[in-house]
Amino acid sequence: MDNYQNQLDQTFSALADPTRRAIVARLAEGEASVGQLARPFAMALPSLMKHIRVLETGGLVETEKRGRVRTCRLKPAGMQSVETWLAEQRAIWGARLDRLEAYAMALEQATEKKAKRRTEAEAGKNVSTGKRKG
């Protein structure tokens, strides 16, 4: 469980930065060299490499050096911990919202019953006292 939590923390940490999310979005189109990834950003290659290392630590990206070129690609399995966590959260919150809906419906029904009883009681008083409504 600790390994799962640690991986989840690293993945969310990696995705917390807009530059890293942009790198992930670019790599979703296909692999790219570090130079290609750096073009849209106003930063030096060493700075971009720091972002790539964070993405690697988060399990989202893998790199491979081919000669003098370092190529990056997405690691699809890297999002598995996030997908698992989100599915768990959806289930938890779905159950909570279902319980809240049931509670709200029960309150509404109870309110309607009270109103009906009150109306019937008032109608009964008016009949027994001989008063006419209106």
pLDDT digits (tens, 9 = 90+) for 49-62: 999 999 999 999 99
pTM higher than 0.75:
no
Which residues contact residue 77 at a Cβ distance below 8 angstroms, ignoring those fewer than 6 apart?
59
Chain position carrying tokens 């109306």? 119
Identify the three-state secondary structure at position 64. strand
pLDDT digits (tens, 9 = 90+) for 14-45: 999 999 999 999 999 999 999 999 999 988 99
Six-digit token pair at 62? 């893998």
Dist CA 119 CA 125 (whole Å): 10
Would the pLDDT of 127 be above 70? no
Indicate the Cα dihedral angle 30, 17, 55, 31, nearest 10°. 10
Share the mean pLDDT of the chain: 90
